């Protein structure tokens, strides 16, 4: 199986948590290869996927909250069972298309008539023997918190729309907070691994106009969310491309604005040409911010050591310690050290996969 390191800008999903404007630090979303969270045994060939719904989430009425109107609404077109079915189907398809496994079977909700929320006597060994599966994956809960944010919403709406470049042209955002619980059983192992899948997903109506405006479009948006969650759970088992957040510094300096344009387009080399020149700017704030952005570009190009060098070198631009900038650099340096370890794990997993 061949893996490709693909790095490009995606504006569909942005986490609000790290959106900061007080220091002109902005966020963007990039896609990068990540190692699998589980190291699978070499002899894993067959996977069985089930939707148990132990928490009876499939029978819940779908509701969403309009923050601007301060009202809850029921969407009669949306059914949790249909969404959770899409989720496990997407996971099945993603694992099958990876080419890593001999067989991936979606058993959907065929176990539900046997199970209750209080059932603790389920025989996993018997299930593995009957299905011939080396790994059994169970979706036990699928629930979404859904918020509609209008540009006129006080504080929250204004902060997102103003601080995230991808959403500046949007008048509405749909915010989804998934709560998924998965269980994974490995043949011959007594332990059951519990995995929670919490995320924050943001969709803007300027980027996805066909997913806004009426209940039918809202249904399409949630179907897209369900499939995305199933696809991203693949990363628990095999190396995969994932969306992650990174921060960069912006400035009203004409050259910095040009560099930002290339940065947001994912044209790292053109952005580097500009930012590298600006690291010699007599304005030390511009020089420091450009150095920080050079670190980001080096990470995107896979050169973590160079990224750390740019980051560490940027401290020298300030004669007196700048606490805010120091904190930003410290946080990013921590991410770079984590990324360095991830790349080592990723290279090992890909190498082992190629040998098998």
Q: What is the largest CA-CA distance in the chain?
A: 72
Which run of H or E residues covers position 242?
strand 240-249
In a domain, 31, yes or no: no
Task: Write the CA distances from 98 to 36, 146, 167, 241, integer angstroms.
Answer: 13, 31, 33, 12
- Given this model, what pLDDT does residue 137 score? 95
Q: Would you state the structure tokens that stand for residue 51, as one six-digit string?
A: 């939707």
- Token look-up 């290279």 returns 347
Same domain, yes or no: 71 and 218: yes
- Given this model, what pLDDT does residue 256 score? 96
Same domain, yes or no: 212 and 126: yes
SS3 262: helix
In a domain, 329, yes or no: yes
Read off the pLDDT of residues 259-313 as tens digits, 9 standing for 90 and up: 999 999 999 999 999 999 999 999 999 999 999 999 999 999 999 999 999 999 8
Mean pLDDT of 210-238: 92
SS3 281: coil
- Given this model, what pLDDT does residue 276 score? 97
Residue that is last in its domain, among 238, 271, 300: 238
Q: Calculate the average pLDDT of the chain.
A: 84
Residue that is last in its domain, among 238, 261, 283: 238
- Given this model, what pLDDT does residue 158 score? 59
How do 240-249 and 192-198 pair as beta strands?
A: unpaired
Q: How confident is the model at residue 109 (pLDDT cuts 50, 70, 90)?
A: confident
103 bridge partner residues? 46
Checking if the pLDDT of 19 tops 60, the result is no
- Given this model, what pLDDT does residue 353 score? 66
Our count of domains for the chain comes to 2
Checking if the pLDDT of 322 tops 90, the result is no
Same domain, yes or no: 99 and 214: yes
Q: Any idea what the CATH number is for the domain that residue 319 is in?
A: 1.25.40.10
Q: Any idea what the CATH number is for the domain that residue 56 is in?
A: 3.30.160.150
Q: Would you state the structure tokens that stand for residue 73, as one six-digit string?
A: 């609404």
CA 266 – CA 1 distance, rounded (Å) = 26
Same domain, yes or no: 234 and 315: no
CA 182 – CA 56 distance, rounded (Å) = 14
Same domain, yes or no: 221 and 265: no
CA 304-308-311 angle, 5° bins = 135
Same domain, yes or no: 343 and 269: yes
Same domain, yes or no: 223 and 287: no
259 burial (CB, 10 Å; 0-12 / 13-18 / 19+) is buried
Read off the pLDDT of residues 162-207 as tens digits, 9 standing for 90 and up: 666 677 788 888 989 999 999 999 999 888 999 998 888 889 898 8
Domain that holds residue 263: 252-355
In a domain, 56, yes or no: yes
Same domain, yes or no: 218 and 270: no
- Token look-up 């993603």 returns 94
On whether the CB atoms of residues 144 and 57 are closer than 8 A, the answer is no
Mean pLDDT of 76-88: 94
In a domain, 150, yes or no: yes
Same domain, yes or no: 215 and 87: yes
Read off the pLDDT of residues 117-165 as tens digits, 9 standing for 90 and up: 455 567 888 899 989 999 999 999 999 999 998 877 655 555 666 666 6
């Amino acid at each position: 199986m061949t893996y490709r390191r693909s790095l490009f800008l995606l504006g569909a999903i942005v986490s609000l948590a790290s959106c900061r404007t007080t220091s002109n630090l902005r966020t963007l979303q990039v896609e990068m290869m990540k190692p699998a969270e589980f190291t699978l045994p070499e002899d894993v060939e067959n996977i069985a996927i089930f939707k148990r719904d132990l928490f009876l989430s499939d029978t819940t009425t779908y509701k969403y909250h309009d923050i601007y109107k301060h009202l809850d609404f029921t969407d009669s077109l949306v059914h949790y069972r249909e969404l959770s079915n899409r989720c496990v189907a997407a996971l099945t398809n993603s694992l099958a298309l990876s080419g890593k496994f001999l067989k991936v079977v979606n058993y959907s909700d065929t176990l539900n008539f046997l199970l209750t929320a209080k059932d603790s006597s389920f025989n996993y060994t018997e299930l593995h023997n009957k299905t011939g599966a080396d790994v059994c994956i169970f979706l036990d809960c699928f629930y979404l918190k859904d918020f509609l944010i209008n540009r006129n919403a006080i504080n929250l709406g204004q902060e997102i729309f103003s601080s995230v470049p991808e959403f500046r042209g949007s008048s509405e955002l749909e915010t989804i907070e998934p709560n998924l619980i998965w269980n994974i059983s490995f043949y011959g192992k007594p332990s059951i691994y519990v995995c929670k899948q919490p995320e924050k997903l943001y969709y803007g109506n300027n980027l996805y106009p066909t997913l806004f405006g009426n209940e039918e479009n809202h249904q399409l948006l949630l179907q897209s969310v369900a499939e995305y969650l199933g696809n991203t759970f693949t990363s628990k088992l095999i190396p995969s491309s994932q969306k992650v957040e990174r921060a960069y510094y912006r400035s009203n300096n004409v050259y910095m604005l040009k560099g930002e344009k290339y940065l947001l387009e994912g044209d790292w080399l053109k952005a580097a040409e500009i930012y590298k020149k600006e690291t010699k700017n007599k304005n030390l704030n511009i020089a420091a911010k450009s150095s920080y952005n050079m670190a980001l570009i080096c990470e995107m190009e896979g050169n973590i050591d160079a990224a750390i060098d740019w980051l560490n070198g940027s401290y020298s631009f300030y004669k007196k310690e700048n606490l805010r900038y120091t904190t930003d650099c410290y946080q990013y340096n921590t991410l770079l050290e984590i990324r360095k370890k991830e790349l080592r794990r990723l290279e090992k997993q890909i190498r082992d996969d190629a040998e098998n």
